[in-house]
Amino acid sequence: MIRLSAQVHGWLLLLPAMVLLAAFTHYPAAATLLHSFFSTPKGERPAVWVGLDNYQGMVEDPVFWQALTNNLWFALGTIPVSIGLAMLMAVWVNGKLAGRGFLRMAYFTPTVLPMIAVANIWLFFYTPTYGLLEQVTGAFGLPSHNWLGTQNTVLGCLIVVTIWKEAGFFMIFYLAALQAIPPALAEAAAIEGAGRWYFFRRVVFPLLMPTTLFVLINAVINSFRLVEHIIVMTKGGPDNASALLLYYIYEVGFKFWDSAYASTLTVVLLAILASAAIAQFVFLEKRTHYQ
Amino acid sequence: MIAKLKRLAALGLTAACVALLPTVAAAQTTEVSFYYPVAVGGPITKLVDSMAADFEKENPGIRIKPIYSGSYQESIVKALTAMKSGEPPVLSVLLSTDMFTLIDEGAIVDWTGLATSPDDQAWLKSFYPAFMENSQTGGKIWGVPFQRSTIVLYWNKEMFREAKLDPNRAPENWKEMLQYAQKLTKRDASGNVTQWGVQVPSSGFPYWLFQGFTTPNNVVLMNKAGNQTYYDNPAVIEALQYWVDLSQKHKVMPPGIIEWGTTPKDFFEKKIAMMWTTTGNLTNVKNNAKFDFGVAMLPANKRRGSPTGGGNFYLFKKSTPAQQQAALKFAKWITSAERAAQWGIETGYVAVRPAAWETVTLRKYAAGFPPATVARDQLEFSVAELSTHENQRVTKALNDGLQAALTGTKKPDQAMKDAQREADRILKPYRK
């Protein structure tokens, strides 16, 4: 009897979290998968089972492939740089230097700003002829360039905005991790005659690995999750050159009202993110040193 | 389990709503909820609220509930999701081009069946015909024009003077616009452009501005039934060639995709001498341009012309007959000559009925600020904005093609042929 009530007690404690998780995570994911096998209901026409038709359409959809490729480049461009930069900034503001608090705040500011506002500011940075970027390049006598209006520079421009926005956020995690490293290690290394770079490479970097793993997962998710700056700055243009997967899903779902195809694309996105997370946990976990 | 939870949540929400609005059910009033987007600057929400209050004063028994619903895009998302969850608004202002989408979703009813009295019939006929083109299909009227606009050309008179052009005369036709733009484009010693002759934005919705080229070239982009497009018509390709040549061949327009949002700013910063944008920007330009400017109709080629744009009133199907009658009354009231004139002056939109332009208020305003009448005069030459079944998707096919041509990745004829093929694929089910 006592055992049973303890059981019930335990489940009751879990209930609020479980309800939220089921209602807002598990149910939508399962429903998405289900919807991807049906047609889009429209007016009087109800949804009917179409099997893999939506997936067939997706494979033949050039915009899907372009959005996916763009997204991979976007991930490749943002993740390593923002993590590297975050680590560098963290090491820098962890040292003893004047105005440290101010510097930390300055690095963190982009994270606090709403993405919509940020994107609007950057829109004017990139404006041809009188934007900030153009004024700098113009001062060096370089010809004017339409940064967001040309296929081969637009994605790069979005990558820069994202790095600027994310690096400060990741820095906070590294800063916390750095401060958790006992100073005794640095002293011991100094006595042994280890150089600063050697100390960083062999002591600090391995100790930061759990943080790096966490940050890496976040960075991967973010690279597939961020979409606001595209809506504000390019709307996926020119000619889909800056369309990312989630933006395309939004377009299909809420502009074309093709909810079945949007579900199909979402399943792909879920699969990518799930496999990325699993891969990171399985492979990197082994190489990560927890204290 | 999940269904039950959902029902519980819905019950909770309903209870909360009922608690918030205790008087609605009690009195014998008809409530008309009304979604509206805001797409231009200024205190629009205040204006709508005060208009609704005025209407309620004159019509006791009807309660108008205006709900600000964001941009046009957000508004249709909200209206359609509200409908799918069973609680659509009674009345909503949405893009005139959303008509086919709303019909296909089974979301709206037509006004023709509702406005049956002779007075109502006369009212439906009292709008500018150009605005009605996008408001009817299959012999029925589905949208009532409300906040409508069109594209016009703005020019900087000072720059015209510097280039030894008549500052009070805008280019009349394509040839002149090119000649003017060539004279107005300035380069520094190293060949970098410091001032562009003309700028036609091409981000977001280039198809709309493109209609400013196709219409003068005497060609339409779609049929009235909304199931056929003519993207690869030679006259369409020719129009695109002219647009592309402005930047790629003649180099009088900035290369690449030109941002819609920053175009007025480029004009204020004196980086461009002429720009194409909506009449809805008129009040914005009036307040921010620190120089003399002019407003003109778009230059002609084989004929004159520009597409219309903006939003119509739609009536949602899932409403009671009493609500529909009340909504009709409100739509008639807010588009009455006096109200349409007031709306036009305070927002910059074109007053939607000729009668509005006969009012003292609007005549006085137009006399003091002549550019306000340019858009009205252009209506005579205006055509419907591109709108088909599966509108956004068919439009995107064209947008992608236009952007590919403007950035030089595809030749105009190739781009338009690809766009047409895509549109044909999408529209096939609607041709039965």
Q: Where are the domains positioned within chain B?
A: 27-149+309-381, 150-308+384-431
ipTM above 0.95, yes or no: no
Instruction: Tell me the chain B residues in contact with residue A127 when contact means C-beta distances shorter than 8 Å.
Output: 259, 262, 265-266
Among A232-241, A261-270, B137-146, B233-242, name the one with the lowest average pLDDT.
Answer: A232-241
Best of B262, B275, B430 to disrupt the A interface (most A CBs within 10 Å) is: B262
The listed range with the strongest mean pLDDT (B2-6, B146-150, B258-262) is B146-150
Say which of A138, A239, A251 has its CB closest to residue B403: A239
Q: Which of A64, A60, A35 is nearest to A47 (CA)?
A: A35
- A64 neighbors A265 (Cβ within 8 angstroms): yes
Task: Please state, in angstroms and as integers, the Cα–Cα distance from residue B200 to each residue in B273, B278, B295, following that order.
Answer: 11, 11, 15
Say which of B77, B193, B259 has its CB closest to residue A148: B259
Domain assignment of residue A231, yes or no = yes
C-alpha dihedral (B298, B300, B301, B302), degrees to nearest 10: 130
Residue A40 CA to residue A46 CA, distance in Å, equals 8
Best of B190, B210, B403, B416 to disrupt the A interface (most A CBs within 10 Å) is: B403
Residue B70 CA to residue B87 CA, distance in Å, equals 18
Region B389-408 average pLDDT: 92
For B117, phi then psi, to 5°, come to -65, 155
Domain assignment of residue A38, yes or no = no
Sign of CA dihedral A138, A141, A144, A145: negative
Rounded (5°) CA angle A55-A57-A62: 115
Domain assignment of residue A84, yes or no = yes
Domain assignment of residue A29, yes or no = no
- Inform me whether the pLDDT recorded for B11 exceeds 50: no
Q: Looking up tokens 């407003």, which residue turns up?
A: B295
Domain assignment of residue A201, yes or no = yes
- Check CB contact under 8 Å for B407 and A149: yes
Nearest chain B alpha carbon to A128: B254
Chains A, B: CB pairs < 8 Å: 98
Task: Please state, in angstroms and as integers, the Cα–Cα distance from residue A188 to each residue in A178, A194, B40, B183, following that order.
Answer: 16, 9, 66, 74
- What are the counts of helices (DSSP H) followed by strands (DSSP E) for chain A? 16, 0
Number of domains making up chain A: 1
Domain assignment of residue A91, yes or no = yes
Q: How far is CA A147 from the centre of its chain?
A: 23
For B186, phi then psi, to 5°, come to -115, 140
The residues pairing with B314 across neighbouring beta strands, listed in sequence order, are: B92
Q: Looking up tokens 């219309």, which residue turns up?
A: B308
- Check CB contact under 8 Å for A239 and B400: yes
- Check CB contact under 8 Å for A235 and B204: yes
Nearest chain B alpha carbon to A142: B192
Residues 6+ apart with CB under 8 A from B362: B341, B344, B345, B351, B356
The listed range with the strongest mean pLDDT (A90-99, A122-131, B403-412) is B403-412
- Inform me whether the pLDDT recorded for B193 exceeds 80: yes
Residue A38 CA to residue A261 CA, distance in Å, equals 9
Say which of A141, A240, A257 has its CB closest to residue B400: A240
- Check CB contact under 8 Å for A238 and B403: yes
- Check CB contact under 8 Å for A127 and B265: yes
- Inform me whether the pLDDT recorded for B184 exceeds 70: yes
- Inform me whether the pLDDT recorded for B92 exceeds 90: yes
Region B324-349 average pLDDT: 90
Instruction: Tell me the chain A residues in contact with residue B105 when contact means C-beta distances shorter than 8 Å.
Output: 42-43, 257
How confident is the model over B68-89, as pLDDT tens digits? Answer: 998 888 899 899 999 988 889 9
Share of chain B above pLDDT 90, in %: 67
- Inform me whether the pLDDT recorded for B326 exceeds 90: yes
Rounded (5°) CA angle B192-B193-B199: 150
Say which of B257, B400, B401 has its CB closest to residue A149: B257
Task: Please state, in angstroms and as integers, the Cα–Cα distance from residue B369 to each residue in A235, B156, B274, B345, B360, following that order.
Answer: 35, 16, 20, 11, 14
Say which of B5, B269, B406 has its CB closest to residue A23: B5
- pLDDT at residue B26, rounded to an integer: 42
How confident is the model over B229-245, as pLDDT tens digits? Answer: 999 999 999 999 999 99
CATH number for A74:
1.10.3720.10
Among A138-147, B12-21, B169-178, name the one with the lowest average pLDDT.
Answer: B12-21
Which range marks the domain in which residue A263 is found? Answer: 51-113+155-287
Instruction: Tell me the chain B residues in contact with residue A253 when contact means C-beta distances shorter than 8 Å.
Output: none
- Check CB contact under 8 Å for A150 and B105: no
**Three-state SS annotation for A125-174:** HCCCCCCHHHHHHHHCCCCCCCCCCCHHHHHHHHHHHHHHHHHHHHHHHH
- pLDDT at residue B429, rounded to an integer: 86
- pLDDT at residue A291, rounded to an integer: 54
Say which of A144, A150, A239 has its CB closest to residue B192: A144
Instruction: Tell me the chain A residues in contact with residue B191 when contact means C-beta distances shorter than 8 Å.
Output: 143
- Check CB contact under 8 Å for B204 and A130: no
Region A6-12 average pLDDT: 89
Instruction: Tell me the chain A residues in contact with residue B202 when contact means C-beta distances shorter than 8 Å.
Output: 149
Region B204-217 average pLDDT: 94
How confident is the model over B26-48, as pLDDT tens digits? Answer: 457 889 999 999 877 667 888 89
Residue A247, token pair as written in the block: 């933006």
C-alpha dihedral (B132, B137, B142, B145), degrees to nearest 10: -10
Closest Cα in chain A, distance from residue B425 (Å): 12
- Identify the DSSP state of A201: I
Q: Which CATH code fits B150-308+384-431? A: 3.40.190.10
- pLDDT at residue A195, rounded to an integer: 85
Superfamily of domain B27-149+309-381: Periplasmic binding protein-like II (3.40.190.10)
Best of B400, B406, B410, B430 to disrupt the A interface (most A CBs within 10 Å) is: B400
Q: Does A15 touch chain B (CB under 8 A)?
A: no
How confident is the model over A97-152, as pLDDT tens digits? Answer: 788 888 888 888 888 888 888 898 898 899 887 888 888 888 887 877 888 888 88
Nearest chain A alpha carbon to B105: A43
- pLDDT at residue B7, rounded to an integer: 52
- Check CB contact under 8 Å for B203 and A150: no
The beta strand positions in B50-112, using DSSP E, are: 62-68, 91-95, 108-109
Q: Does A23 touch chain B (CB under 8 A)?
A: yes
Cβ-count burial of B41 within 10 angstroms (0-12 exposed, 13-18 middle, 19+ buried)? middle
- Check CB contact under 8 Å for B393 and A256: yes
Q: How far is CA B198 from the centre of its chain?
A: 22
